[in-house]
Structure 1
C-alpha cells in the first residue's frame, strides 16, 4: 500500500466517511487544511447524504482532481482547458472504478438503502462500511494516484 492508501485507511478506521477519507488524504498536497477538507467532504458520504447516489469515495476523488486541475480563472466561457482536463480525468476515473466494481453508485456497491434506519443498521451489523466501503476508498485512492 502507498502512503495515501494508508492515510485514507487511517481516516476511515478513525470514523471518517468515505469522501472524507479520500479528500483529506490528498488535501495538504494542494494547500487545503485537514479541517477544511473534512468539513467540505462530510456531506458526500453514503452516496451524498445517505441518498445512495455516487459513491462518496469517488466524489472525494473528484474533488482531489478539481484541486489539481480545476478552473480558477475564466475568460467568460464555461469551458476551457482546465475544465476539459478535469472533466476528462473525472470521467476516466469513474469508468475505471465502474469496471472494477460494477457500478459507481453506493446503492449498488453496498446493496442497501442507507436512508433507511433498519437497512443502515444491517450494514453496520454486517461490517459493510468497513469491508465494502474500505475497498472502494482504497481503490479510489489508487486510481487517483494513477490519474494525478
Structure 2
C-alpha cells in the first residue's frame, strides 16, 4: 500500500472497492482527478478518497430525490470518519501533513527525494484505510444482525 503522489485517493477507493461492490476500474477512475495535483495541497488525497468511499456506501441512490433522503446519514458518517481519523492524524492538507507545499515549483521533487511519499503518505494511507475498515465492518455487522 506504499503511496506515490497522485495515487492516494485512488488507492483508498481501490482498497474499499470489494466492500462497495464496485469494479477496480471504477474505483480507480472515480478518484483519478485527485491525482492531477490540482488543489492537492488543500485536502489530502487519502481523505478525498475516503469521502468518496463513504459517499458510495451511504449516499448511493438511483435518483437525486433518493439521494437527498440519505444526506443526513452520509453527513453523520463523514463526521464520524473525521472524528476517528483526527485521533490518528490531526492534519487535513498535504501541506500540513508533509510539512511542505508541494504545489510550489520544485517542492514536489524535493518531497520525493526526501522519501515523504513513501513514508509520510504511506502512513496516512494506512491510517485512512484502517478507519474506513473499522467503520464499514461495524456497519456490515450491524446490517447482518438486522437481517437475522
TM-score (normalised: structure 1): 0.79
Aligned residues of 2:7 and 2:35 also touching (Cα < 8 A): yes
Cα distance in 1 between the residues matched to 2:119 and 2:33: 21
Q: Deviations over 1:101-139 (max 9, x none)?
A: 221122111111111231111100100011111011000
CA distance in 2, matches of 1:117, 1:75: 41
1:97 maps to 85
Q: 1:75 to 1:93 in 2, by over 3 A?
A: closer
Q: Is the 8 A contact 1:45 1:55 kept in 2?
A: no
Describe the shift of the 1:72–1:87 C-alpha distance in structure 2 as closer, same or farther (beyond 3 A).
same
Residue 141 (structure 1) aligned to one of 129, 132, 136: 129
Structure ID, larger Rg = 2
Whether 1:121 and 2:109 are equivalent positions in the alignment is yes
Counterpart residue number, 2:61 = 72
Shift of 1:16: 6.5
User: What is residue 28 of structure 2 aligned with on the other side?
Assistant: 38
Aligned mates of 2:20, 2:30 — CA distance in 1: 14
Match of 1:4 in 2: none
| Matched residue count | 136
Q: Normalising by structure 2, report the TM-score.
A: 0.79
